[in-house]
């Protein structure tokens, strides 16, 4: 039994078997900003990194630490740093690594705020940002340069559902630019479906607001990587640059939510497949973007690299007006941004999550103002389908 490796369904429940004070089964919430030292020498040693132990909750907290260790295990990384949002994790990660004069090669389809950070803010720091289609390996080969310090993309891109071949991109990037860190936003897939580090990526970032917490009541993020990279991200990106620290209450809620990640993802993926098939055969829908449908351009990559196809679906109506009318006609689906919750959420990327992008940027990212995005929840799929059906009938006359 000693070499036995636990399956993901077990890891989400047990993590690395922390022994809680007083034998508590659930993680205690260490609601404290600071930690009392036994002596001046001990305080000095902790600051000098010569002695393990907590100092101040911006640098680490036992509840948050238990969560970080569980997420590191789930993603197969040496260490993890928790942040108070996904954007905290992304900005903390890139600003820890990139310097003036570096080249960042990123996919052109990204969550809207990541897109804004990369295209508006990073260039102000002298970082050269280039956007390409990362799912096209020839484009990757043509654009990686000796000074490319980071390659960045989303496992399943928000909102076009493009799937990038993590293994192929990582292998090529490392062969021509060994110092380059391949960074993957694994929010849409979660470690239940893909482990980017095991496919060759260097850093994984997450909005834990989504599937990892899973209950729509927390904003949080993670960065996961090797120990040395993580040390830099924690001591620079978290401690000094963003200060975007996750509080212990939120850490507790995510520890609780994570316990059901495997069963939630299984049910959500199964439901999403049924909903995608319904959308695919609906005469009201022009095009369905779901990597689990064989006509999806990245179906083969998704089959190879993903355990299941995920819970996110996008679909295009015939006009912007029809898309808007559908959003106003749904009754069960909640008209809200975010994703990965128990409730099915529906939103309009062009005017909501990606409203900071110009029409040209939206087109380049592979979608339009006719696109609706659906985060399939845990309801009975037949009820989600019935809701969409009645909304189509009302909206498309
Ligand atoms: N990465 C991805 C892929 C995301 O979709 C989001 C948020 C973030 C990072 C940022 O995470 P946050 O700071 O919000 O925790 N995506 C959202 C979305 O599609 N709708 O609302 C938020």
At 4 the pLDDT is 87
What would the DSSP string read from start to end of 40-90?
HHHHHHHHTTSS-S--BTTT--HHHHHHHHHHHHHHT-SEEEEESSHHHHH
Alpha-carbon span 256 to 91, nearest angstrom: 26
Active-site residue 185, yes or no? yes
Give residue 71 CA to ligand 1 midpoint distance, Å.
18
Total-model pTM: 0.98
State whether the beta carbon of 92 lies less than 6 angstroms from ligand 1.
no
Q: Residue 271 falls within a domain, yes or no?
A: yes
Q: Judge if 307 and 254 occupy the same domain.
A: no
Residues 200 and 77 in one domain: yes
Q: Is residue 3 part of a domain?
A: no
C-alpha–C-alpha distance, residues 338 and 333, integer Å: 13
Q: Is the CB of 353 under 6 A from ligand 1?
A: yes
Tell me how far the alpha carbon of residue 275 lies from the centroid of ligand 1, in angstroms. 22
The neighbouring-strand residues paired with 223 are 81, 205
SS3 34: strand
Q: By the 8 A CB rule, do 105 and 151 touch?
A: yes
Using a 6 Å cutoff on CB, does residue 221 contact ligand 1? yes
Tokens of 47: 């600051």
Regarding whether 239 and 170 lie in a shared domain, the answer is: yes
Catalytic choice (6, 56, 58, 284) = 58
φ/ψ of residue 219, rounded to 5:
-110, 125
- Return the residue whose CA atom lies nearest to atom 21 of ligand 1: 338
18 in any annotated domain: yes
Catalytic status, residue 210: yes
Last residue of a domain, one of 258, 290, 315: 258
Pick the residue whose CA is nearest to atom 22 on ligand 1: 338
Question: How far away, in angstroms, is 85 Cα from ligand 1 center?
Answer: 9
User: Are residues 268 and 248 part of one domain?
Assistant: no
1 part of a folded domain: no
Say how far apart CA 4 and CA 9 lie, in whole Å. 14
**What CATH number has the domain bearing residue 304?**
3.90.1150.10
Catalytic, 38? Answer no
Q: Are residues 103 and 244 in the same domain?
A: yes
203 in Cβ contact with 181 (< 8 Å): yes
CATH number of the domain that residue 91 is part of:
3.40.640.10
The whole-number pLDDT of residue 2 equals: 66
CA of 243 to the centre of ligand 1 (A): 19
Could you give the number of structural domains in the chain?
2
Report how far ligand 1's centroid is from the alpha carbon of 186 (Å).
11
Cα(111) to centroid(ligand 1), Å: 6
Residue 20 within a domain? yes
Query: Is ligand 1 within 6 A of the CB of residue 207?
Result: yes
Establish if 280 belongs to a structural domain. Answer: yes
What's the domain range around 77? 8-258
Whether residues 24 and 35 share a domain: the answer is yes
Boundary residue ending a domain (258, 290, 319):
258
Catalytic residue, chosen from 185, 341, 369, 387, is 185
Do 184 and 244 lie in one domain? The reply is yes
- Residuewise pLDDT in 10s, the chain (397 residues): 567 889 999 999 999 888 999 999 999 999 999 999 999 999 999 999 999 999 999 999 999 999 999 999 999 999 999 999 999 999 999 999 999 999 999 999 999 999 999 999 999 999 999 999 999 999 999 999 989 999 999 999 999 999 999 999 999 999 999 999 999 999 999 999 999 999 999 999 999 999 999 999 999 999 999 999 999 999 999 999 999 999 999 999 999 999 999 999 999 999 999 999 999 999 999 999 999 999 999 999 999 999 999 999 999 999 999 999 999 999 999 999 999 999 999 999 999 999 999 999 999 999 999 999 999 999 999 999 999 999 999 998 7
Are 174 and 207 members of one domain? yes
* Residue 305 CB neighbours (<10 A): 23
158 ligand 1 Cβ < 6 A: yes
Q: For a pocket test of ligand 1, which of 90, 152, 158 has the largest count of ligand atoms closer than 8 A to its C-beta? A: 158
Question: Which of residues 258, 283, 302 is at a domain's end?
Answer: 258
Are residues 301 and 185 part of one domain? no
Catalytic residue among 210, 239, 264, 370: 210
In short, whether 85's Cβ falls inside 6 Å of ligand 1 is yes
Query: Do residues 73 and 119 make contact, with C-beta atoms less than 8 angstroms apart?
Result: no
Same domain, yes or no: 287 and 368: yes
Residues 56 and 168 both lie in one domain: yes
254/350 same-domain check:
no
Q: Which atom of ligand 1 is nearest to the CA of 373?
A: 19
Q: Is residue 2 part of a domain?
A: no
Q: Is residue 79 part of a domain?
A: yes
Is residue 121 flagged as an active site residue?
Answer: no
């Amino acid at each position: 039994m000693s070499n036995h490796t636990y399956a993901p369904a077990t890891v989400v429940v047990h993590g690395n078997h922390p022994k809680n004070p007083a034998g508590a089964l659930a993680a205690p919430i260490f609601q404290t900003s600071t930690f009392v030292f036994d002596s001046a020498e001990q305080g000095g040693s902790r600051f000098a990194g010569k002695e393990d132990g907590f100092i101040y909750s911006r640098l680490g907290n036992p509840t948050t630490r238990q969560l970080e260790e569980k997420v590191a295990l789930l993603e197969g990384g040496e260490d993890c740093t928790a942040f108070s949002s996904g954007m905290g994790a992304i900005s903390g990660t890139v600003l820890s690594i990139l310097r003036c004069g570096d080249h960042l090669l990123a996919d052109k389809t990204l969550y809207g705020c990541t897109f804004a950070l990369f295209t508006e803010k990073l260039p102000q720091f002298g970082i050269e940002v280039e956007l390409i289609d990362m799912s096209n390996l020839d484009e990757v080969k043509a654009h990686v340069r000796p000074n490319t310090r980071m390659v960045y993309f989303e496992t399943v891109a928000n909102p076009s559902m493009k799937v990038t071949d993590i293994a192929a991109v990582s292998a090529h990037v490392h062969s021509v630019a060994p110092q380059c860190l391949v960074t993957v936003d694994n929010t849409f897939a979660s470690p239940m479906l893909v482990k980017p580090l095991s496919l060759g990526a260097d850093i994984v970032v997450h909005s834990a607001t989504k599937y990892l917490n899973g209950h729509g009541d927390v904003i949080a993020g993670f960065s996961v990587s090797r120990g040395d990279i993580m040390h830099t991200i924690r001591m620079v990106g978290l401690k000094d640059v963003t200060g975007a620290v996750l509080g212990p209450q939120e850490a507790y809620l995510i520890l609780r939510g994570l316990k059901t990640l495997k069963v939630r993802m299984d049910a959500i993926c199964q439901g999403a497949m049924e909903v995608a098939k319904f959308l695919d055969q609906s005469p009201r829908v022009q095009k369905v973007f779901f990597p689990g449908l064989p006509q999806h351009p990245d179906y083969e990559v998704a089959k190879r690299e993903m355990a299941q196809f995920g819970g996110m679906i996008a679909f295009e109506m015939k006009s912007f007006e029809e898309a808007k009318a559908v959003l106003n006609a749904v009754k069960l689906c909640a008209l809200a941004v975010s994703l990965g919750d128990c409730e099915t959420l529906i939103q309009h990327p062009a005017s909501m999550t990606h409203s900071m992008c110009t029409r040209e940027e939206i087109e380049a990212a592979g979608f339009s103002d006719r696109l609706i995005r659906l985060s399939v929840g845990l309801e009975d799929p037949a009820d989600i389908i019935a809701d969409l059906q009645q909304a189509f009938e009302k909206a498309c006359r």
